[in-house]
Amino acid sequence: MTAALLDALRAALDGHGALVTDPAATTGYAHDMMPLAPYGRPLAVVLPASAEQVQACVRACAAAGVPIVPRGAGTGLTGAANAVDGCVVLATTRMNRILELDPDNRLAVVEPGVVNQDLKTAAAAHGLYYPPDPSSLDTCTLGGNLATNAGGLCCGKYGVTGDYVLGLEAVLADGSLLRTGRRTVKGVAGYDLTRLLVGSEGTLGIITRATLALRPLPAVPGTVVAAFDSVAQAGASVNRIVRAGLVPSLMEIMDATSLRASSAYLGTELVGEGDQALLLCQSDAPGAAREAELDHMERVFRQAGAVYTHATQDAAEGALLLRARRVSLAALEARGACMTEDVAVPRTRIAELIEGCTRIGTDAGLTVAVVGHAGDGNMHPTVLYDGADTGQYARARTAFDAILALALSLGGTITGEHGVGKLKQDWLERELGPVALRVHQGLKDALDPAGLFNPGAVLARRPTGTRRAT
Amino acid sequence: MTAALLDALRAALDGHGALVTDPAATTGYAHDMMPLAPYGRPLAVVLPASAEQVQACVRACAAAGVPIVPRGAGTGLTGAANAVDGCVVLATTRMNRILELDPDNRLAVVEPGVVNQDLKTAAAAHGLYYPPDPSSLDTCTLGGNLATNAGGLCCGKYGVTGDYVLGLEAVLADGSLLRTGRRTVKGVAGYDLTRLLVGSEGTLGIITRATLALRPLPAVPGTVVAAFDSVAQAGASVNRIVRAGLVPSLMEIMDATSLRASSAYLGTELVGEGDQALLLCQSDAPGAAREAELDHMERVFRQAGAVYTHATQDAAEGALLLRARRVSLAALEARGACMTEDVAVPRTRIAELIEGCTRIGTDAGLTVAVVGHAGDGNMHPTVLYDGADTGQYARARTAFDAILALALSLGGTITGEHGVGKLKQDWLERELGPVALRVHQGLKDALDPAGLFNPGAVLARRPTGTRRAT
């Protein structure tokens, strides 16, 4: 049976190491970057080079009743790409061509294995901009970005991956090739299958091509930083920015723990003694409007009681200031094991979330550091613990769950941009309720009745016997 | 049977004329504003006042096996809200409360019967902006806008209805209440059920509440007009605007026939003798950037060979110029019967589409006038014919279909913003292909297995016997 499947996969692919079965090699494809999510041993890893090869692999697996776990670069943070025992992992990394870049229609057509930054670079050569910018943009692939509807630092002004998807091509569980969407700016022909696939974490189809909208490249941003001696004041400042009608191209928040970790990591004194929070804002408005926006932001921060503000139009200085934020997770990881959350709350509740996280940390006898995208309310509290101490691990898990509960109680969501994956399936019903969960299962059954694609992601895995027959 | 259903509906509602059965009155709810789409005679019209009443009506109809056609203000242009014989029309117009307007989180929570302009007005009082602006914005309801994913003139810069929907509440075919989405700016918990409902034309659920994102109110726009002595030059100007990295807040195109009709209708001389096309652009950029953008646009038009350009920052003058575009359909209707199309093409193909429409008109011995949203490629060619002449009607239908075929051949879509409705179901498969159509039917079956909701919209109506049992 297994031998027959491997033969079929070998025939489906084009040789050149496209079928990997050596456990020493397949292990590298068994999980993403979230240590908390479970993963199994794949039977094999396939690296198809075309949609036709993906179709042939899917048909072979469907015939053998062997599940397929699709995967990009494996930079996810929810285990969405984690293998289940005996599955075939399908990595799209070899399908990495930018097939078209059309400046007159401001769009690109790409294969799923294109690295995010590579599209940005190719677009910039035409004066164009592909905004979505997850932290892993130097290595993550657009296929993974699409599967998770990835965000980044740009979202408050520019939206998320899904906002840039005009159309998709995807292989369905029966091996057929689905085309969704369009090449035009607008289009409402039929149900929005494009958006149904985006963020579905490979559970409904395997994306093999995407038509993505681009924007004109904005101006090089100017930067403002503001330090506060309380989280509440920093939170109130976010409200004032919103109330002032400002839309920063970036607005990040860091709490005291994160600030001190980044300071130590970079070996610089980022903050003053009593600073409890830092806001970091940018404006990429055109021409004179940029300086006016930066001035306005700085004024708002001062009025909100900032103990320190600094504005610069110098790009290098802006990048340096942003570095404290960009290194924050690495800086925290240098201190010990980390569980990084991805909750989002209404922008008015940011201070309550951060203060609640600090309290949750204290209750657990652990530290919770918070950084986040203040412009859109998407916060990344990180529970710090000693990985060698099982008691601490258990308390960290409890704190992790308490943060999810806190976010929901503040009118928020369990995931702002990382997804549900194989980590938060149990929380999905708590957020969405039983009716929405039933609809999810109905859609999954409609598109993948045998549960072939990425079992256990988004929705809890059901015993084989309870799956609906095709 | 019928009497029992009417009793159940009466019990479900709150009196006060909420159940209408008089055929003289129900006729007014039997169709929207598209004369080409078929419609039947409703058994009754219900006007529920709450989600609970919608649920009770749906349950009563489901028990009786009587289809429900949801409807807003009936301003649609595809027959999507048209009754089928013996159905219950459910109008959401009484559910017209703005439940919440939250300036700190830039969002509104509304019932589906709120008129589009009423939300705009309420938002503007807080310095906020709800962009989607279908032409019928003074009368159309947000529920209808959501069901059709309506667009308007703002889309090239600000997107369509779906881009502003954070979450929905909808009644499903089994009477249960589904909640989708979130109140946060970002969120990726589960499948995007929000976007699946948006644009589904009432075939998957009845929207009873929506959480909508708002933006800061932009500056009062400045306006540039440019006249060209060929459609090709106007089309090339659109490309040059895109290439120059400009994003006008509005960019409309009118061909010679539309221009002359609007001129006659308004009793003013809008254009010169030889003018073949007019472009009308606006910029709402902040501060000095606005004048710079308007100057840039005017320069681009001159370089592209415009025979006349004029720019103004005066809002009243801008509104006057825009009036020629806004009255265009009324001006054409004053000349005779009209079939208005809603195709969209890549922005680079606008000139080809307009020239092709003129040719199609000539071949049919009729006139085709074209106005459209040049900023996003969504064109509204209108076939003019004599409604009393059956030969002309038949030729007009042939021309209407030829325009759809032309749009597809140019890489476009059969509908940019009006929807499929009960008019273009046969064209949906030609655009999407059999795999996508099969997926559509699978999703419909998953959510509405008995085909209760809006039968015949989006997907062709199947004989009752072929519907899947619940």
pLDDT, position B463: 59
Q: Contact at 8 Å (CB) between B82 and B32?
A: yes
- Of B300, B325, B350, the residue that ends a domain is B325
Asked if B432's CB is within 8 angstroms of A184's CB, the reply is no
- Identify residue A150 by its one-letter amino acid code: A
pLDDT, position A359: 97
Distance (Å) from the alpha carbon of B358 to chain A's nearest alpha carbon: 22
What is residue A222's three-state secondary structure? strand
- Identify residue A73 by its one-letter amino acid code: A
Q: Assign residue A382 a region: left if phi > 0, alpha if psi is -120 to 50, beta otherwise?
A: beta
Residue with tokens 């190491």: A17
Q: Is residue B435 part of a domain?
A: no
Burial class from Cβ neighbours inside 10 Å (0-12, 13-18, 19+) for residue A465 reads: exposed
Q: Is residue A49 part of a domain?
A: yes
How many other C-beta atoms can be found within 10 angstroms of the C-beta atom of residue A1? 8
CA-CA distance, A316 to A300, in Å (whole number)?
A: 24
Looking up residue B301, the CATH number of its domain turns out to be 3.30.70.2190
Candidates A155, A176, A186: best to mutate against B (most CBs of B within 10 A) is A186
Question: Are residue A251 and residue A352 in the same domain, yes or no?
Answer: yes
- Pull the structure tokens for residue B236: 């090339």
CA-CA distance, B29 to B211, in Å (whole number)?
A: 27
Distance (Å) from the alpha carbon of A307 to chain B's nearest alpha carbon: 24
Burial class from Cβ neighbours inside 10 Å (0-12, 13-18, 19+) for residue A466 reads: exposed
Backbone angles phi, psi at A446, to 5 degrees: -65, -35
CA-CA distance, B424 to A25, in Å (whole number)?
A: 52
pLDDT in tens, A297-351: 999 999 999 999 999 999 999 998 999 998 999 999 999 999 999 999 999 999 9
Q: Contact at 8 Å (CB) between A146 and A168?
A: yes
Q: How many residues are given for chain A? A: 470
* Among A232, A323, A241, A295, CA closest to B105: A241
Question: Are residue B227 and residue B212 in the same domain, yes or no?
Answer: no
CA-CA distance, B132 to B137, in Å (whole number)?
A: 9
Q: Give the closest of A151, A195, A442 to B192, CB-based.
A: A195
B73 confidence band (pLDDT: 50, 70, 90): very high
- Pull the structure tokens for residue A442: 């109905």
Strand residue runs (E) in B320-377: 337-340, 343-344, 367-373
Looking up residue A246, the CATH number of its domain turns out to be 3.40.462.10
Residue with tokens 């020239």: B355
pLDDT in tens, A267-288: 988 778 889 999 999 999 988 8
pLDDT in tens, B24-42: 999 999 999 998 899 999 9
Domains held by chain B: number: 3
Strand residue runs (E) in A140-256: 165-171, 177-181, 206-213, 215-216, 222-228, 250-255
CA-CA distance, A388 to B311, in Å (whole number)?
A: 70
Q: Give the closest of A190, A200, A415 to B191, CB-based.
A: A200
CA-CA distance, A205 to B151, in Å (whole number)?
A: 29
Question: Are residue B71 and residue B122 in the same domain, yes or no?
Answer: no
Per-residue pLDDT, averaged over A232-240, amounts to 96
- Of A58, A75, A91, the residue that ends a domain is A91
Q: Is residue A415 part of a domain?
A: no
Question: Are residue B206 and residue B223 in the same domain, yes or no?
Answer: no
Per-residue pLDDT, averaged over B134-163, amounts to 96
Residues of B in contact with A189 (CB under 8 A): 413-415, 420, 424, 428, 431-432
pLDDT, position B470: 35
CA-CA distance, A231 to A355, in Å (whole number)?
A: 7
- What percent of chain A stands above pLDDT 90? 93
Q: Give the closest of A155, A163, A185 to B156, CB-based.
A: A185
Instruction: Name the closest residue on chain A to residue B373, using Cα atoms.
Output: A186
Question: Are residue A297 and residue A400 in the same domain, yes or no?
Answer: yes
User: Which residues neighbour A92 within 8 Å (Cβ) at sequence distance 6 or greater?
Assistant: A48, A54, A70, A71, A72, A111, A112, A113, A141, A143, A206, A207, A208
User: Which residues neighbour A418 within 8 Å (Cβ) at sequence distance 6 or greater?
Assistant: A76, A77, A78, A148, A342, B188
Q: Is residue A469 part of a domain?
A: no
Runs of H (alpha helix) within B90-244? 116-124, 142-148, 155-158, 193-197, 231-243
| Domain assignment of residue B281, given as a range | 219-325
Q: Is residue A229 part of a domain?
A: yes
User: Which residues neighbour A155 within 8 Å (Cβ) at sequence distance 6 or greater?
Assistant: A132, A373, A375, A376, A378, A417, B185, B186
Question: Are residue B102 and residue B211 in the same domain, yes or no?
Answer: yes
Burial class from Cβ neighbours inside 10 Å (0-12, 13-18, 19+) for residue B466 reads: exposed
Packing angle, helices A2-12 and A51-64, rounded to 10: 170
Question: Are residue B113 and residue B47 in the same domain, yes or no?
Answer: no
Interface confidence, given as ipTM, is 0.96
pLDDT in tens, B302-351: 999 999 999 999 999 999 899 999 899 999 999 999 999 999 999 999 99
Residue with tokens 């064209």: B427
pLDDT, position B466: 41
Question: Are residue A288 and residue A344 in the same domain, yes or no?
Answer: yes
Asked if B292's CB is within 8 angstroms of A179's CB, the reply is no
DSSP string of A332-366? Answer: HHTTSEEEE--EE--GGGHHHHHHHHHHHHHHHTS
Q: Inform me whether the pLDDT recorded for A396 exceeds 80.
A: yes
Instruction: Name the closest residue on chain A to residue B287, using Cα atoms.
Output: A289
pLDDT in tens, B213-233: 999 999 999 999 999 999 999
pLDDT, position A463: 59
Q: Inform me whether the pLDDT recorded for B270 exceeds 80.
A: no
Q: Give the closest of B177, B285, B443 to A446, CB-based.
A: B443
Asked if B186's CB is within 8 angstroms of A239's CB, the reply is no
Backbone angles phi, psi at A89, to 5 degrees: -85, 130
Q: How far is CA A104 from CA A216, A406, B248, in A?
A: 11, 47, 15
Please provide the average confidence, as pLDDT, over all residues in chain A.
95
Q: Is residue B301 part of a domain?
A: yes
Asked if B103's CB is within 8 angstroms of A243's CB, the reply is yes
Q: Inform me whether the pLDDT recorded for A466 exceeds 50.
A: no
* Among B223, B224, B225, B237, CA closest to B305: B237
Runs of H (alpha helix) within A216-371? 231-243, 256-266, 288-303, 315-326, 328-333, 350-364
Burial class from Cβ neighbours inside 10 Å (0-12, 13-18, 19+) for residue A35 reads: middle
A465 confidence band (pLDDT: 50, 70, 90): very low
Question: Are residue A265 and residue A368 in the same domain, yes or no?
Answer: yes
pLDDT in tens, A141-164: 999 999 999 999 999 999 999 999
Per-residue pLDDT, averaged over A235-261, amounts to 96
Per-residue pLDDT, averaged over B89-112, amounts to 98
Question: Are residue B208 and residue B315 in the same domain, yes or no?
Answer: no
Q: Is residue B169 part of a domain?
A: yes
Q: Contact at 8 Å (CB) between A298 and A291?
A: no
Parallel, antiparallel, or unpaired: how do β-strands B44-46 and B88-91 relate?
parallel
Residue with tokens 């592909």: A130
Asked if B239's CB is within 8 angstroms of A192's CB, the reply is no
Q: How many residues are given for chain B? A: 470
Lowest-confidence region among A219-233, A261-275, A403-417, B204-218 = A261-275
Residues of A in contact with B378 (CB under 8 A): 184-186
Q: Contact at 8 Å (CB) between A223 and A317?
A: yes
- Of A184, A216, A248, the residue that ends a domain is A216
Strand residue runs (E) in B322-377: 337-340, 343-344, 367-373
What's the DSSP call for residue A47? -
Question: Are residue A169 and residue A306 in the same domain, yes or no?
Answer: no
* Among B138, B412, B122, B373, CA closest to B249: B373
- Pull the structure tokens for residue B310: 């004029």
Q: Inform me whether the pLDDT recorded for B467 exceeds 80.
A: no
Q: Contact at 8 Å (CB) between A259 and A271?
A: yes
Terminal-residue alpha carbon distance, chain B: 20
Residues of B in contact with A188 (CB under 8 A): 148-149, 151, 160, 199, 413, 415-420
Rg of chain A on CA atoms, in Å: 23
Candidates A148, A185, A444: best to mutate against B (most CBs of B within 10 A) is A185
Instruction: Name the closest residue on chain B to residue A153, using Cα atoms.
Output: B186
* Among B156, B46, B61, CA closest to B94: B46
Q: Assign residue A159 a region: left if phi > 0, alpha if psi is -120 to 50, beta otherwise?
A: left
Asked if A182's CB is within 8 angstroms of B348's CB, the reply is no
Q: Is residue A84 part of a domain?
A: yes
Looking up residue B125, the CATH number of its domain turns out to be 3.30.465.10
pLDDT in tens, A403-460: 999 999 999 999 999 999 999 999 999 999 999 999 999 999 999 999 999 999 999 9
User: Which residues neighbour A4 within 8 Å (Cβ) at sequence distance 6 or greater?
Assistant: A64
Per-residue pLDDT, averaged over B366-385, amounts to 97
Looking up residue B23, the CATH number of its domain turns out to be 3.30.43.10
Q: Contact at 8 Å (CB) between A446 and B443?
A: yes
Question: Are residue A125 and residue A163 in the same domain, yes or no?
Answer: yes
CA-CA distance, A274 to A271, in Å (whole number)?
A: 8
CA-CA distance, B332 to B258, in Å (whole number)?
A: 7
CA torsion angle A313 A317 A320 A326 (round to 10)? 0
